[in-house]
Structures are given as structure tokens and as C-alpha cells.
């Protein structure tokens, strides 16, 4: 993948997240970015405490799950349901195994992500299917997936309003 300049969307509502997929420079490869707003612990309207987990281990697991789930075909019939469940169980196991190696710099090497001119650390992990990773941008975190990721990954921040990106 050549040096793409990609827009990273920043969701504005505490419970919002946004995802975008961009075509690669060769027209075939894609880069998928998911942005998750950090909320901290908050009380819901019903008085329950909730938050979005954005710790490195959870992000590593989420990045791998998102990458691998994208390859699972939709369930076309009830006959496919058991195979889909088995695939998801395997994906979750692979994601936990990958997350367990997060502190191994050979398995999760550090790269750079430039977002709005600021440099952040991007942790990358290579799987046979693709490359995935995540970065902590302060107010939000991102996960990325692509056949390859440039170093640095150059992103431009743009705000998302509601269901439509503006």
C-alpha cells in the first residue's frame, strides 16, 4: 500500500463510534478504520455504570476480532448457523491469543500514526489474513486493518455528526 492520506473520523457522542473503509491505491486493497470515543465510567439513564473498554488488551482483541469477522460470510440459512458460531468461537480464541502477545515487540511492533499533524503510537499485528492494529488518540482510540500498513500512517481528523459523516 502506498502512503495513503486517510481521514480518521472522530465521533462526537459519548456512545458513538464510526467506521470507514477506504480503497487502496491499487484499487483492490482496503484500509478500514474504526474510531471509538472514550467515555470513562458514566451512569446510564437507568442508574447503571457503563463504559467502553479502551485498555490496550481489549483494543488488541477488538482489532483482531474486527479484522477476522469481516471474512465470515453472512448466514444464508439455518444450516449455516452452526458453522458461523464455530467460526466466531475460533476468531475469539485467535483474538485472545494475539492479545496475550501484546507486550512482545516482535508480535506487536510499534509504528507511527500521524493524526492532524500529531504523532501517536500505532501497535500493529500481522495475521495471515492481513495486518491490524490500534492507536490511542487521547479522546478516542482507533483500530485499523489493511493488507499492509504504512509507517507512518497519515490521518486527517474530521468530525462525524450523527449517522452521516460530515
> Is residue 152 reached through a cis peptide bond, with omega within 30 degrees of 0 on the bond before it?
yes
Q: Give yes or no for a contact between 1 and 151, defined as CB atoms under 8 angstroms apart.
A: no
Beta strands in the chain (DSSP E): 5-11, 17-23, 30-37, 42-43, 49-50, 110-115, 118-126, 131-136, 140-146, 153-161, 164-165
d(CA 105, CA 69): 25
pLDDT in tens, the chain (166 residues): 444 444 444 454 544 455 555 555 555 556 777 777 777 777 777 777 766 778 899 899 988 988 888 778 788 888 888 888 899 999 999 999 999 999 999 999 999 988 878 899 999 999 998 899 999 988 888 888 888 888 888 877 665 554 433 3
> Cα torsion for 94, 100, 102, 106, to the nearest 10°?
-80
> Which residues are CB-contacts of 3 (< 8 A; sequence separation ≥ 6)?
150, 154
Amino acid at each position: 500500500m502506498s502512503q495513503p492520506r486517510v481521514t480518521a473520523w472522530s465521533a462526537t457522542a459519548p456512545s458513538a463510534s464510526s467506521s470507514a473503509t477506504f480503497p487502496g491505491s491499487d484499487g483492490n486493497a482496503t484500509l478500514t478504520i474504526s474510531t471509538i470515543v472514550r467515555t470513562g465510567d458514566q451512569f446510564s439513564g437507568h442508574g447503571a455504570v457503563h463504559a467502553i473498554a479502551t485498555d490496550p488488551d481489549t483494543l488488541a482483541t477488538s482489532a483482531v476480532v474486527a479484522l477476522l469477522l469481516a471474512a465470515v460470510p453472512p448466514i444464508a440459512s439455518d444450516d449455516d448457523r452452526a458453522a458461523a458460531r464455530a467460526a466466531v468461537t475460533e476468531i475469539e480464541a485467535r483474538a485472545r491469543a494475539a492479545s496475550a502477545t501484546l507486550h512482545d515487540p516482535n508480535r506487536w511492533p510499534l509504528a507511527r500514526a500521524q493524526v492532524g499533524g500529531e504523532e501517536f503510537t500505532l501497535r500493529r499485528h500481522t495475521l495471515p489474513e492481513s495486518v491490524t492494529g490500534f492507536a490511542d488518540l487521547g479522546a478516542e482510540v482507533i483500530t485499523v486493518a489493511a493488507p499492509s500498513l504504512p509507517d507512518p500512517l497519515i490521518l486527517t481528523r474530521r468530525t462525524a455528526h450523527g449517522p452521516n459523516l460530515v
